[in-house]
Structure 1
Amino acid sequence: MRVSRRTLMAGAGSVVATPALGWTTPAAAARTEEPLLHGMMPSDALPERLEPVEPGLIRIDRGWRFHEGDIVPPRLRKHDETYLAAKAGGARGAAAIAFDDSGWVSVDVPHDWAIRQPFDRDANTDQGYKPRGIGWYRKTIILDEADRGRKIALRFGGIATHATIWVNGSIAARNWSGYTAIEVDLTPYARFGADQPNIIAVRVDAQEMEGWWYEGAGIYRHVTLAKRPAVSIATDGVHCDPRHDGDDRWRVPVTVTLENVGEAARPAELSVLLRDDAGREVSRATASGTVDPLGRRDLSCALSLSGPRRWSPETPKLYRVEIVATSEAGTDRRQVPIGFRTIRFDANRGFFLNEQPVKLKGVCLHQDHAGVGTAVPDALLEWRLRRMKDVGVNAIRCSHNSQADAFYALCDRMGFLVMDENRIFNPAPDHLAEMEWLVRAHRNHPSIILWSVFNEEPMQGSRAGREMVRRMVAAVKALDDSRPVTAAMNGGLYEPENVSQAIEVMGFNYQTDQYDKFHALNPKLPSSSSEDTSAFMTRGAYRTDRAAHVMSSMDTEAADWGATHRKSWAMIAERPYLAGGFVWTGFDYHGEPTPFEWPTVSSFFGILDLCGFAKTAYDIRRAQWIDDRPVIGIAPHWTWPGREGEQMDVLVTSNAERVRLLVNGKPVGEQAGDRIHGTLFKTAWQPGEIVAIGLKGGREVVRTRHRTAGPPASLQLLPARTLMRADGEDVVPVTIHAVDRSGRHVPIAQHPVTLTIEGGEIIGLGNGDPNSHEPAQGDRRSLFNGLAQALVRARSGAQRLRIVARADGLKDGSTSIRLV
């Protein structure tokens, strides 16, 4: 989101062009939409396993030793100790080989120690008032004698924030970004045999900040170990993004970087195979060359294919490139999923995918979740993306940094269009290398359609800013020439020299009153909203109370630089030259508690709250974005004891032609549907049932309802899945809510709940309340406006996972999850 404030000038009253709806539903097949717990009903499907690009990778996530706080060795005084400390392998303190870490706690990574801290009013506001500081990790790795002569590579997916890594007492790597992967070549330091352990020590400085949002602290992504032949394929050393040659003829240029850690030059043979989405071989190519000792060499070839199945959000068909590099030293392999699709940004007609116009219905996403902070398990990440699919999202902007490896693999599989965004705007060598890593690591993913070099930089309207962008664009293009480069601008648009002159797609952050003027002055530059909306909602609250830091969910509140969900999409939908937009944000996130500060500790911007529970924005965006089926929603809920007879605004959001509203079976009214702005009714509240009906051609196609709930009588638990893997990694979100004696959800329940679990553990808790200071770990969490969430993980080898929830005055709730 932005820091500066600009007043929105929305085009009220304008005519909005909307696509034709692709559904036809006879009256007999009318759909009933489930309210309040949208998309939270259990599934019995296991998440697909994410196979690594490199077969044989070893995850070393478990059994790290952790110490919170710094360990400073005694000051050097004497010659001998000073002399030895200056030598390779002479690390002192917690980095020393012989350091005793037996008193440290054992943790598994991904691990975010900040989320476990109590809230501290003196801590940084944007970091969610969570203290961060410094921490240490250590791990022992045993390498077999058979590994001698091989390339040994250790890869950290992400460490927040600055990291120094020692291997056997020598500094092997330093890293200055919490968002880039770190590869450590263990080969020169490695020791072999059970009696020669390898000691990995990591000092993490999380006092440093790269952003103005919650960033977590620690080794918060996966760690892997690769053992490769002496002649092997470099990490991120395969580039195989398809190219369209016209008439549905395609080629896949394949470039493979080989490296040789051996002592002699060695010839290598490269075999490249393309398989379709059914696993059938459809093309093959070869290449060969000699790799010098301690050198690198690129080998290239090309695959060809006619008429492949196209990749799109609706049909995310993936092919697979299999690479085998063979030498006297052995064989190394990679398997790279790719997708065949064309992308094109047009200055007057927006974005085209496979030469079909597609409006980007996007959201901006940070990477944290309630209860676990930035250490988000892969299964939870998949669930979060499915929640975005529920909303009708087809595009995601990585704000404002690269995401975990699993994110891109899931976007490929699930069908999201991705704007991948660089963190630090600076072409200095260290930071340029971070951006180049991002492109090399992600350029084979069909989901990625844009590279973004920055977000809202003060230098964007200057010559220096333009020159910086020129260099960064050139660096991107040297690595990938198939996708355009953009930047998210919130000012400086009309300065004589500005960064829009150096990018290929203009990115507007909130400049809604400048869309038309800028387009008229730059008619050949394609454009998109790179960030919009910044509306405020507290889930389950329908009146604003700024003194209590509560914002209405009736889509009436927005930042002074932003707009409501309805106004912001209207401005985009009515302009065909805009490729689309990216809502700030898909989920709430820790930190940046705009427009408030303490005691508020997380944001209000999300379409979904911090747990993934739906706000009114969920129904608004579904009506705006879903074209293949009828949808409908009502706000507010219908449980308002003590407010009998009070006039209420009722917002019905639907993509139907007309909407009808009933209260206790009696008509309130019927109006033409407005899928952008929704339809507003007024009615006096009375207990009972409110029903909204969507009509097409005079026939009912969809309906939803709220029923007045009585006092809470019992708790219910709804796991997102009824089946999970007992592998110590799979995670399932469990919704906790209260129901009355008739089983109706009680949206105003606020009870403290205590949980017990058998066969697993609770790894995090949340309830979506931006003002809650309850711990993220433990066994207790209060309901907030009727809902709370527990993230559960099964114990390896367990047979069944069972959770019981208790609250004073309510009947216990329980659920079981079958383990496989």
Structure 2
Amino acid sequence: MRNLLQVFVGFLLLASTALAERETLSMDFGWRFHLGDIEMPVPQSHHETYLSTKAGNALGPASPDWDDSDWRVLSVPHDWAVEGPFDPQANVSQGYRPRGIAWYRRSFQLSEEDIGKNIELQFDGIASHCTVWINGTLAHRNFSGYSSFQIDMTPFALYGEELNTVSIRVDASVMEGWWYEGAGIYRHTWLVKRDPVHIETDGVYANPIRKENGKWTIPVEVEVFNSGELDAEIEIATTVFDVTGRSVASGKTKAAPKALEQITGKYEIPVSKPKLWSVEEPNLYTVRTQLIRSGEVVDQVETQCGFRTIRFDAKEGFFLNDEPVKIKGICNHQDHAGLGVAIPDAMWAFRLGKLKEMGANAYRCTHAAPTKEFLEECDRIGMLVMDENRHFNSTPEYIRQLRGLVRRDRNHPSVILWSVFNEEPMQAERTGYEMVRRMAAEVKSLDSTRPVTAAMSDGFFSEINVSAAVDVMGFNYSQDKYDKFHALHPELPLISSEDTSAFEMRGEYETDTERNLISSYDTQAAYWGNTHRESWKMINERPFIAGGFVWTGFDYHGEPQPHVWPSIGSVFGCLDMCGFPKTGFYIRQSQWLEGEHVLEIAPHWNWQGREGEAIEVLGISNAEELELILNGKSLGRKTVDPYELVSWSVAYEPGELLAIAYCQGREVARKTVKTTGPASQIELSSDRASLSGDGVDTLPITVAALDDTGLFVPTANQRVEFSIEGPGKIIGLGNGDINSHEPEKGRRRSLYNGLAQVIVQTDPSSSGAITVTAYSNGLIAGKFSIPVEQVEQPARVAIPESSDVK
């Protein structure tokens, strides 16, 4: 009788959710936060000890009964380290920012209608190690800030009026890297409700391939889990939609997952004459996968994919859709001025847009898994990606992390390479070779369509090294060894996985070691690297090198080179930490942009008090010739070397420098730099016309000093104060000065060589206009307004009424 009752109840649970749609709810709002560790109570009596060892009876802040009413209420993504002061005693690699330990808690309710559903919590990234309790039960421990993870909370879930409480202890004292890594829940959090018979998270693999006969097909694999109490019979159905939203192909299969069984449905879907995904035309298709039971759709997942072929050739480099493409790549960490590692999704369009503007067509995720939103933007704009694993380790925990990376990212057409490590001491030992061999096998078991690489920095000619276990050889620096390695291994494709490491500070044109200042003339680089001009020549003149990845696109917190305190960040970037271009940005444009004329002059022409002194003027262009004119007098016309460019030594006199670029004797571009007056006004600007009032849309606003005539003043360094009106808030400030210790949160920031950045974010459920005003003593205030449009709000987990969200 008891068994019959269980079957009957199980049937009711399945029936009650047969028409339920999958709900993916953001849980980013309403977290409570406590900075610092909290000592756990120590049980004393036998009864207390006995209870503390039982599920659901966690102690201290892990207990659902803990009073967190005085904790700070905030939203994630959140980086607590970037909020704090710099400390000369803190770790240099982490940018002199203390990290430590903190706690987060979040309460929410599940309705009685959710009974019988599968309830999953998803965390996209918590820096660095964390322990998660759900309703007082230890649910998960995670050992990497770069590894997303999911928790099936169905067994612990409470329904109706009872609160569910998630408690997380974050230990950011652990360092996974030698750069600034931030601290906290710095990526998104989600609550997913779905049918007990459902598609697993990252459980759809739909990566198009072109067969030998030239026809295209999508091999589909769908992982289905039945968390219910009864066996089920389902149909797995997939429909493919083209770039216009038109259905172009479909496929299906049947499956019968038993209770608590995972199964994988496999089938192929032919697609006729698809539009290809490329760097220039990133056409994306949508794959909609449904689970159908008794004629009703019980779960659905949409996946984007692209039709493209990739091939690395040992003699001729990289091919995309059978066309040769020189990889013009950059390396980057997830980090931005004023934000740290907690980067809102809208900032990816800004950052990747800057890199595209520079001419980059590829991005190496150094040295860890990116966010899925970042990859979606790369898919959308046509940016190739080297997707990199964080930990070089073939033991079970780290294989789990590696497999999670591949499972999550293998549908993205932008991803063309899997990288399993960066610069490992074991790279020239049998130990390293065996580890790479095993890690590569794991990758290939999940995705055999992309090659595996590893970024080696030494040991290239050792008797045994990891190059014997990869598909594409990754060279970090060591550019003088390209030819020798290629001669010894003519069958192995090569790529410069990391190069350059040039030193530049925006707007500085004299090196001063006492003040930690470095010139932007592209004459200095780390001892292991080269300048922008030297590095690209080594790559571009060798067809067998598929391309390269510059270290780095943007400056970043931490890893200060070549100076330490008071420097708190790197100066490797082609752009500074805010995304303002340096000289390297324009040099890369001259090297990488095709089909358009590039012309820039360095430096500025504000050298008052140095009249008559020789100033080096660097002409940056992809034209054949440049002419330089000072105050109407020609200083000569010179041939432009495509790598070294061209320069003049000019006796300074105030006025106007004019550069004219020529191709085949015809003028194709001109650039003027003028001596300015002192700063008299502030200008605020942005390249966007409106924002969405969804509580997450984010806008970086450029703050610039102008003179009376409206010319940009490149030497202004005044302090600026900001105010904001309307449905938004200021979430970050920066200026690109890696020697500045000003707070990155608040309302004040100094200009650095004429520029600063204020970052604003909209409020939830808002409309109207945001107005930011910038004030500085003696200057006319700048004002910037942008409309905020009312939009449909993202689905979110409701915040209990007792929570006071600020």
Out of 505, 508, 526, the position equivalent to 2:493 is 526
Equivalences for residues 324-343 of structure 1 within 5 A: 324-327=290-293, 331-343=298-310
Map of 1:280 onto structure 2: 246
Map of 2:49 onto structure 1: 82
- After alignment, is 777-786 or 274-283 more displaced? 274-283
Q: Aligned partner of 1:801: which letter? A: I
User: Does residue 251 of structure 1 match 2:220?
Assistant: no
Map of 1:610 onto structure 2: 577
For 2:687 and 2:512, the matched residues in 1 are separated by 32
Equivalences for residues 224-303 of structure 1 within 5 A: 224-246=190-212, 248-303=214-269
Task: Check whether the contact 1:231–1:330 (CA below 8 A) recurs between aligned residues.
Answer: no
Equivalences for residues 341-360 of structure 1 within 5 A: 341-360=308-327
For 1:695 and 1:58, the matched residues in 2 are separated by 57
Map of 2:799 onto structure 1: none
- After alignment, is 113-122 or 68-77 more displaced? 68-77
Map of 1:803 onto structure 2: 772
Deviations 1:262-300 (A, max 9, x none): 011101111111111111111111111100111100001
Secondary structure of the residue aligned to 2:545 is: coil
Map of 1:818 onto structure 2: 787
Deviations 1:3-31 (A, max 9, x none): xxxxxxxxxxxxxxxxxxxxxxxxxxxxx
Deviations 1:38-74 (A, max 9, x none): xxxxxxxxxxxxxxxx974111100100000111122
Secondary structure of the residue aligned to 1:791 is: strand
Out of 625, 640, 644, the position equivalent to 1:673 is 640
Map of 1:372 onto structure 2: 339
For 1:409 and 1:617, the matched residues in 2 are separated by 27
Q: Compute the displacement of 1:674 (Å).
A: 2.6
Equivalences, count: 766
Map of 1:322 onto structure 2: 288
Q: Compute the displacement of 1:803 (Å).
A: 0.9
Deviations 1:382-425 (A, max 9, x none): 10010101100000000000011101000000101100000000
Equivalences for residues 24-35 of structure 1 within 5 A: none
Map of 2:169 onto structure 1: 203
Out of 698, 713, 733, the position equivalent to 2:665 is 698
Out of 146, 155, 158, the position equivalent to 2:125 is 158
User: Does residue 438 of structure 1 match 2:396?
Assistant: no
Q: Compute the displacement of 1:429 (Å).
A: 0.4
Q: Which has the higher contact order (CA 8 A, sep 6+)?
A: 1
User: Does residue 735 of structure 1 match 2:702?
Assistant: yes
Secondary structure of the residue aligned to 1:352 is: strand
- Gaps of at least 5 residues in structure 1 are 1-53
Map of 1:463 onto structure 2: 430
Q: Compute the displacement of 1:248 (Å).
A: 3.8
Q: Compute the displacement of 1:330 (Å).
A: 5.3
Secondary structure of the residue aligned to 1:331 is: strand
Secondary structure of the residue aligned to 1:266 is: coil
Out of 136, 148, 172, the position equivalent to 2:139 is 172
For 1:661 and 1:224, the matched residues in 2 are separated by 57
Secondary structure of the residue aligned to 2:154 is: coil
Out of 696, 709, 722, the position equivalent to 1:755 is 722
Q: Aligned partner of 1:817: which letter? A: I
Q: Compute the displacement of 1:477 (Å).
A: 0.5
Residues 55, 264 of structure 1: alpha-carbon distance in 2 compared, 3 angstrom cutoff: closer
Task: Check whether the contact 2:723–2:747 (CA below 8 A) recurs between aligned residues.
Answer: yes
Map of 2:506 onto structure 1: 539
Q: Aligned partner of 2:474: which letter? A: G
Equivalences for residues 422-571 of structure 1 within 5 A: 422-571=389-538
For 1:605 and 1:55, the matched residues in 2 are separated by 45
Map of 1:218 onto structure 2: 184
TM-score (norm 2): 0.94
User: Does residue 653 of structure 1 match 2:613?
Assistant: no
Q: Compute the displacement of 1:673 (Å).
A: 2.3
For 1:273 and 1:665, the matched residues in 2 are separated by 66
Deviations 1:456-488 (A, max 9, x none): 000000011101110001000000000000000
Residues 330, 277 of structure 1: alpha-carbon distance in 2 compared, 3 angstrom cutoff: closer
Out of 74, 78, 97, the position equivalent to 1:107 is 74
Task: Check whether the contact 1:248–1:306 (CA below 8 A) recurs between aligned residues.
Answer: no
User: Does residue 73 of structure 1 match 2:49?
Assistant: no
Task: Check whether the contact 1:720–1:735 (CA below 8 A) recurs between aligned residues.
Answer: no
Q: Aligned partner of 2:503: which letter? A: F
Out of 102, 113, 116, the position equivalent to 1:146 is 113
For 2:210 and 2:263, the matched residues in 1 are separated by 27
For 2:79 and 2:28, the matched residues in 1 are separated by 13
Out of 740, 744, 759, the position equivalent to 1:791 is 759
Runs of 4+ aligned residues of structure 1 deviating over 3 Å after TM superposition are: none
Task: Check whether the contact 1:654–1:674 (CA below 8 A) recurs between aligned residues.
Answer: no
For 2:272 and 2:607, the matched residues in 1 are separated by 62
User: Does residue 778 of structure 1 match 2:778?
Assistant: no
Q: Aligned partner of 1:794: which letter? A: T
Secondary structure of the residue aligned to 2:343 is: coil
Task: Check whether the contact 1:110–1:219 (CA below 8 A) recurs between aligned residues.
Answer: yes
Task: Check whether the contact 2:22–2:192 (CA below 8 A) recurs between aligned residues.
Answer: no
For 1:453 and 1:502, the matched residues in 2 are separated by 11
Secondary structure of the residue aligned to 1:763 is: strand
Secondary structure of the residue aligned to 1:634 is: strand
RMSD between aligned residues:
1.1
Map of 2:653 onto structure 1: 686
Out of 587, 594, 605, the position equivalent to 1:620 is 587
Q: Aligned partner of 1:789: which letter? A: Q
Q: Compute the displacement of 1:247 (Å).
A: 5.1
TM-score (norm 1): 0.92
Task: Check whether the contact 1:164–1:174 (CA below 8 A) recurs between aligned residues.
Answer: yes
Q: Compute the displacement of 1:212 (Å).
A: 0.3
For 1:391 and 1:260, the matched residues in 2 are separated by 49
For 2:782 and 2:595, the matched residues in 1 are separated by 37
